[in-house]
Amino acid sequence: MKKKMCLLALLAAAAWLLAGKVLIVKVLRTQLLAKPDFLSNNLATMQKAARLELLETQGNWYLVRNANGSKGYVHQSSVSESKVSLSGIMPGKKGASDEELALAAKGFNEGNEKQLRGSREYNFADVDWVLDQDVAFAAVADFIKEGKLK
Amino acid sequence: MKKLLLLLCLCLLLVSWKLPSLSKISKAKKGAEMVAGATHKITEEEEYYIGRAVAANILSQYSLLKNKSLNRYLNLIGKALVLKSDRPEIYGGYHFAVLDSAEVNALSAPGGIIFVSRGIIEMAENEDELAAILAHEIQHIVSKDPLQAIKSQRMKSLGTFAAGEALGSSSEVLSIFKNSVLDITGTLLQKGYSRGQEKDADLGALDLLVAAGYNQDALLAMLEKCRGIEKKKAKAFSAHPSAAKRVDYVSDALGKKSGKDMSVRFSRFRKNVSR
């Protein structure tokens, strides 16, 4: 009887592993937030391709758990659903799917940009300057509050 | 105990055997769909790299105004708006910068790099008017309007490569990439968006301004200024349709007043935007 119970528990665990949804960060970096609000506390910064366990959906926000076990919120625009959830949980293959790799290789990517660098028609140095002048969410939050914005 | 371990191993084997087969079926199905449709759907990462190249091309034609305090102010306004948009997070994030040009102009490259000219900043009289310009450009990014400037034939060619029907060489993909960039730059700097795209961006900007707490009337004020200088050929921001028509439909769409207390915004605008 005990063995049967254990077997059932194992099968249930396998089913849970298969059913559990995994989200993948699809932007260069995003934040794990304390509340479903961009201006709430940042619990962790996550990089592209980080895998998150989906716990709950709240409107446009997901409650997730990251690889370190921290729970928090991410906006749906920053993540995509993983097609093969087990690869994120089980040992072995990590990172982009074969389809993602194929598209990255055959589509537009950093390699295209490298071939344009150095051409007079493309000023990437100033593009990099623009991208370096970033402002933190905390500064945006202060700016909103000070200006009586929403 | 041994039996249990054996059962567990069997379970895992079953799972690992089953998944690849499902994955193969899914891949075969997707491949068939892609070959049939053969139009490449641009990913967010690709949008980012096209956008960088479009911005680089624009910055080979216009000088960048590297005023850090003005640039920071512009980015704070822009990001306050972006957080209320339908696309708050994109691959490389939104970035706002100033072109050192007297032209009255604002441009949005794919992937969230938004330029405003020194001329249009000088035309704005307060922070809300500057926010109105940015809100309009953000709406173009939200709707992915710059990507729609790419000729459909290019995406069909790229789709064929991606589907594996004909393996293109890297020089062929680079050629499609360069031509796609030129399609977009041509639309941004010369041709302009369609009337429908501009109207949607204007109406979306009104919603965005209200959502962020800015005054909707600011967009109308900027369009009226554009109408005043239209004879001088103000580009992009007032290009298509005419500013007069835009004033009409924006006036009709204006909702309740918002952005009630503007005093701090007035003072920080004066501090950051020198005349």
Looking at residue A104, which CATH number applies to its domain? 2.30.30.40
Q: What confidence score (pLDDT) does residue A2 get?
A: 66
Closest residue in A to B27 (Cα–Cα)? A99
Give Rg (Cα) of chain B.
24
Q: Min CA distance, B242 vs chain A (Å)?
A: 31
Q: What confidence score (pLDDT) does residue A88 get?
A: 42
* Cα–Cα dist A142/B109, whole Å: 28
A54 strand-pairing partners: A64
**Residue B19 · residue A94 · CB < 8 Å:** no
10-residue block means of pLDDT along chain B (275 residues)? 56 46 44 52 92 97 97 98 96 97 94 97 97 98 95 83 57 89 94 92 96 95 88 55 83 72 91 85
**Structural domains counted in chain A:** 1
A14 within some domain: no
What DSSP designation does B187 have?
I
CB contact under 8 A, A134 and B75: yes
**Residue B263 · residue B215 · CB < 8 Å:** no
Q: Min CA distance, A84 vs chain B (Å)?
A: 8
Q: Min CA distance, B259 vs chain A (Å)?
A: 7
What is the model's pTM?
A: 0.81
Q: What confidence score (pLDDT) does residue B255 get?
A: 76
Residues of A in contact with B71 (CB under 8 A): 133
Q: What confidence score (pLDDT) does residue B38 get?
A: 63
Residues of A in contact with B160 (CB under 8 A): none
Determine whether A130 is exposed, middle or buried from the number of CB atoms within 10 Å of its CB (0-12, 13-18, 19+): buried
Residues A53, A54, A60: CA angle, nearest 5 degrees: 140
A128 pLDDT tier (thresholds 50, 70, 90): very high
Lowest mean pLDDT among A7-11, A49-53, B77-81: A7-11
CB contact under 8 A, A27 and B4: no
A9 within some domain: no
Q: What confidence score (pLDDT) does residue A10 get?
A: 60
Closest partner CB to A78 (pick from B43, B89, B177): B89
**Residue B156 · residue B39 · CB < 8 Å:** yes
Closest partner CB to A120 (pick from B44, B60, B90): B60
Nearest to B143 by CA among B221, B197, B190: B197
A110 within some domain: yes
Q: Identify the residue with better confidence: A93 or B72.
A: B72
* Cα–Cα dist B47/B191, whole Å: 21
**Average confidence score pLDDT of chain A:** 82
Indicate which of B66, B79, B84, B108 best probes the interface with A, i.e. most A CBs within 10 Å of its own CB.
B79
Indicate which of A16, A127, A148 best probes the interface with B, i.e. most B CBs within 10 Å of its own CB.
A127
Q: Min CA distance, B216 vs chain A (Å)?
A: 13
A24 pLDDT tier (thresholds 50, 70, 90): very high
A5 within some domain: no
Q: What confidence score (pLDDT) does residue B40 get?
A: 82
A7 within some domain: no
Closest partner CB to B43 (pick from A7, A107, A140): A107
Tokens of A122: 């493309």
Nearest to B64 by CA among B100, B27, B109: B100
Amino acid at site B223:
L
Q: What confidence score (pLDDT) does residue B31 get?
A: 42
Q: Min CA distance, A119 vs chain B (Å)?
A: 10
* Cα–Cα dist B218/A2, whole Å: 73
CB contact under 8 A, A10 and B180: no
ipTM score assigned to the predicted complex: 0.81
Indicate which of A17, A99, A106, A120 best probes the interface with B, i.e. most B CBs within 10 Å of its own CB.
A106
Tokens of A123: 């000023």
Q: What confidence score (pLDDT) does residue A105 get?
A: 47
A3 within some domain: no
CB contact under 8 A, B52 and A14: no
Backbone angles phi, psi at A115, to 5 degrees: -75, -20
Statement: residue A94 has pLDDT above 60: no
Statement: residue A91 has pLDDT above 80: no
Nearest to B170 by CA among B160, B182, B161: B161
Q: Identify the residue with better confidence: B256 or A17.
A: B256
Closest partner CB to A113 (pick from B52, B261, B264): B52
Which of A133-148 are b and which e, b meaning 16 or more Cβ less than 10 Å from the residue's Cβ?
A: eebebeebbebbeebe
Statement: residue A133 has pLDDT above 90: yes
Strand locations in A19-142 (E) = 22-25, 29-33, 42-47, 51-58, 61-65, 71-75, 79-81
Q: Could you give the strand order of the β-sheet that contains B113-117, starting from the edge strand earlier in sequence?
A: B95-99, B113-117, B106-109
Alpha helices in A25-132 (DSSP H): 86-89, 98-106, 110-116, 124-132
In this structure, the strands spanning A61-65 and A71-75 are antiparallel
Please give the distance of CA A13 from its chain centroid, rounded to a whole number: 25
A93 pLDDT tier (thresholds 50, 70, 90): very low
CB contact under 8 A, A135 and B75: yes
Domain limits for position A131: 20-146
A59 within some domain: yes
Q: Min CA distance, B237 vs chain A (Å)?
A: 21
A137 within some domain: yes
Is the backbone peptide bond immediately before B146 cis, with ω within 30 degrees of 0? no
CB contact under 8 A, A148 and B213: yes
Residues of A in contact with B97 (CB under 8 A): 130, 133
A83 pLDDT tier (thresholds 50, 70, 90): low
Count of residues for chain A?
150
* Cα–Cα dist A75/A72, whole Å: 10
